Amino acid sequence: MSDLYLIKIGEITLKKGNRGLFERQLKNNIKKILRPYPTRVTNRSGRFYLECEGLDEEYVSSCLSKVFGIVGYTRSYSCAKELDALEEKALLVAQQNIDAGVGMKFKVETRRVDKSLPLDNYGYSAEIGGRVFEKIPGLIVDVKNPDWIIHIELREKGYVYGFTHKGPGGLPVHSGGKGMLLLSGGIDSPVAGYLMAKRGMSLDAVYFHTPPYTSPESLEKVKDLARIIAPWTGGITLYTVPFTDVQVQINRSVRPETTTLHSRAAMMKIAQSMAHKRKDLALITGEALSQVASQTVESLAYTNSSVDLPVFRPLIGMDKEETILISRRIEAFDTSTQPYDDCCSLFSPDHPDVRPDLKKTQSEWETIEGMDALLAEAETQAEKFYFPPQRLKE
């Protein structure tokens, strides 16, 4: 295969005994996001190499920018470890930078890992820099403040590359267990899913909808959000659960000010039951402390008490502005802010209880008739949709 990308990893290098597991997972994830195109991924001394053929750089770049575990990546050219071959590739990189209009000041930086070679780092940089300078008119050598750098690495082969793109960091998805994301149509929960995937967790997702009170468009919106986060999460399975009967029964049975709390608890219980069957070991929500009445510490204590699984809330200490920045960065924001109601806003009370008493609220739950059967029934009606990680080339 003719095209080579050099991939740099971060936190994985700190792993000791199980580093191999993380590395294998990263390899699989890179191959998976580029499927069905044939690729080869290898790793040697802390560097990963992706080989592919005939894929444009922008496409490969957009895929690699979404694979957690990667801290940087660059199109790279391999060649023999001798001066003429290195010069040829260095000229190629130089020309690309000039064509991209990033300036004319440059330098060469060499990392010689193979100590048997005749020149040292400085020797290679000076020699190749001199040759490039001579061949391309208008270039200026500036080692202090260059517009761009030609990197040479001399390992088992020679590698020449230019600008390194920043990767998303984190740990490879599927290396950190599996969780069930409660995905609503809002801004927060897709970001929460993204952040847990960044720590290596793979995700299922569940959305509770309330037809006919919520429109088919709000269901489509959540599917779109699942599709948007799927490249980051290495693919995602979304379950949509009809919640109307549960919601109506709650609204009929409890004080208006606690309806949201109980519907949140009902969602958590269904999500937990589904999680158990799919071997998801945690629930994930987009809650942030005190954002709304159902997210005060008292309310969260009640929601937590309704389930046994750990509940991960990666946004708990974040400002909305910080969440919005991430939402925009992952291109979820425009979809999240489409104006379709989710079930909660329609059934929300005017004066929710912001400081619910735990015991009292738990007792109130027990008074709701037929809830276990309604929760079980809702779960059986779940529909399943899978969104793969890859976006195929047009």
Contact positions vs ligand ATP (CB under 6 A): 182-184, 186-189, 206-208, 267, 285-287, 291-292, 294, 342-344
Residue 336 binds to Mg ion (criterion: CB under 5 A): no
User: Residue 4 or 228: which CB sits closer to Mg ion?
Assistant: 228
Rounded Cα gap, residues 142 and 156, in angstroms? 29
Taking CB positions, which residue lies at the least distance from Mg ion? 186
Apex CA 197: angle with CA 191 and CA 198, to 5°?
90
Looking at the Cβ atoms of 342 and 364, the one nearer to Mg ion is 342
The entry of ligand ATP, Mg ion, none near residue 153 (CB within 5 to 8 angstroms by kind) is none
240 by Cβ neighbours in 10 Å (0-12 / 13-18 / 19+) ranks as buried
Annotate 309-365 with three-state secondary structure.
Answer: CCEECCCCCCCHHHHHHHHHHCCCHHHHCCCCCCHHHHHCCCCCCCCCCHHHHHHHH
Binding-site string for Mg ion from residue 43 to residue 62, where x marks contact by CB under 5 A and - marks none: --------------------
Cis? peptide before 212, omega within 30° of 0: yes
292 binds, among Mg ion, ligand ATP, none (CB under 5 to 8 A by kind): ligand ATP
DSSP result, 109-153: EEEE--TTSSS-HHHHHHHHHHHHHHHSTT-EE-SSS-SEEEEEE
Going from the C-alpha of 394 to that of each of 55, 56, 215, 220, the distances in angstroms are: 11, 11, 31, 22
Q: What's the closest the beta carbon of residue 85 comes to ligand ATP, in angstroms? A: 54
Beta bridge partners of 199: 171
Q: Which residues contact 274 (CB under 8 A, 6 or more apart)?
A: 180, 204, 206, 239, 280, 379, 382
Residue 280 binds which entry of Mg ion, ligand ATP, none, CB below 5-8 Å type-dependent: none
| 208 known ligand binder | yes
How many residues at the interface with Mg ion, by CB under 5 A? 2
Residue 177 CB, nearest distance to ligand ATP (Å)?
18
- The DSSP call for residue 36 is T
Whether 238 has a binding-site annotation, put simply, is no
DSSP notation for 157-182: SEEEE-PPEE---SB-TTSS-EEEEE
47 carries a ligand binding annotation: no
Residue 64 vs 180, nearer CB to Mg ion = 180
| CB closer to Mg ion out of 76 and 214 | 214
Least Cβ distance, residue 343 to ligand ATP (angstroms): 5
Residue with tokens 């690729």: 39
How many CB atoms within 10 Å of residue 42?
10
CA-derived radius of gyration, the chain: 26
Q: CB of residue 382 vs ligand ATP: minimum separation in angstroms?
A: 12
Residue 263 Cβ, how far from ligand ATP at the closest point, in Å? Answer: 8
183 marked among binding-site residues: yes
Closer CB to ligand ATP, 129 or 286, in the complex: 286
Beta carbon of residue 207, minimum distance to ligand ATP (angstroms, whole number): 5
Per-residue burial over 51-66, b if 16 or more Cβ lie within 10 Å, else e, is ebeebeeebbeebbeb
Nearer CB in complex with ligand ATP: 9/300: 300
Answer yes or no: is 119 a known binding residue: no
Residue 71 in 3-state DSSP? strand
Task: Give yes or no for residue 356 binding Mg ion (CB under 5 A).
Answer: no
Strands 202-209 and 236-242, bridge-based pairing: parallel
| Binders of Mg ion in range 167-186 (CB under 5 A) | 184, 186
Residue 271 Cβ vs ligand ATP, minimum distance, rounded to whole Å: 8
Closer CB to ligand ATP, 63 or 284, in the complex: 284
Instruction: Compute the least distance from the CB of residue 1 to Mg ion, in Å.
Output: 45
Interacting partner of 64 out of ligand ATP, Mg ion, none (Cβ under 5 to 8 A depending on kind)? none
121-130 in b/e form (b: 16+ CB < 10 A) is eeebbbbbbe
Task: Output 33 or 267, the one with its CB closest to ligand ATP.
Answer: 267
Q: Tokens for 263?
A: 């519907």
Point out the annotated binding site.
Answer: 182-183, 207-208, 264, 286, 295
- Residues within the interface to Mg ion (CB under 5 A): 184, 186
Point out the annotated binding site for ATP.
Answer: 182-183, 207-208, 264, 286, 295
